[in-house]
Amino acid sequence: MTTYSADVNEAEFPTEVIEESKKRLVVVDFWAPWCGPCRVLKPLLEKLSEEYQGRFFLAKVNSDVNQRLAMNHGVRGIPSVKAFRDGVLVDEFSGALPEGYIRSFLERLLPSEVQLLVAAAKQALTQNDEQQALAKLNEALAIEPENSAARVEKAALLFERGELAEAVQLVAGLQGDILDFERTQRLLAQLALAQKISQLRTPEVLQQAIARGEGALQARIDLAAHYASRERYEDALTELLESLKVDRHFADGAARREMLALFDILGADDPLVQQFRRKMAAVLH
């Protein structure tokens, strides 16, 4: 056993393969001592696991000793190589194939340099190291300026730092990182809200306008933006719903649009979203 490869049996498979594949690519080599091609492929995979220095983990399964495990994973001939990522099988091949093919197989499945830099930035943020995260994201964008994941991560970081102009520029025209569309939409909504707040009357003035009935529909919509910026989302959605009840068509359906934007910020699974979607539907229908 090394840091990069190990013999794995049926009892160890859930931990050494399935759980480990949630951290990095795991390549499983199903082999047997009597198999001639296995004696060619196994050392080659071990060599590559050392060369790649932990970018993937090689799990070596003796299919003679672990027949049920091999059967459960559809092994019909050996050597059989199966790659796991995020707990599921993502690719496979059979036979002692040439080194060039195996390298291509690995490169297709391994994260790119930019993906590794973005992952490193996320890790730095978990340790509250914003400078390190920003450095990694800048490095990623220097390699691939249009990479949507790096742009979204940097924009989110700048948003937290209050650097709105650059954050907006990074996501301008971005329709959503395909790896995390919901998060991208949430960020776009947050940036739009932050830009809007600076142009509004204060909450106190808006509350007075509502009390006097002077432009109350717009005042409620604007007050909702203030509440949302302070993460008082239930208050914000309540104000928007009240405006919607009075006139659903006001300002081209502004209250409905703002409610949908808040749904993006909160995420589809948030209980408030589910609650206010039902209320909005009741008003509109």
Give exposure, 154-183, as e/b (b: 16+ Cβ within 10 Å).
bbbbbbeeeebeebbebbeeeebbeeeeeb
Residue 90 · residue 39 · CB < 8 Å? no
Q: In Å, how far from its chain's centre is CA 6?
A: 30
Are β-strands 25-31 and 56-62 bridged in parallel, bridged antiparallel, or unpaired?
parallel
d(CA 236, CA 239): 5
The DSSP secondary structure of 14-56, one letter per residue, reads: IIIIIIGGGTSEEEEEEE-TT-HHHHHHHHHHHHHHHHTTTSE
Neighbours of 277 (CB within 10 A): 15
Task: Provide the annotated active-site residues.
Answer: 35, 38
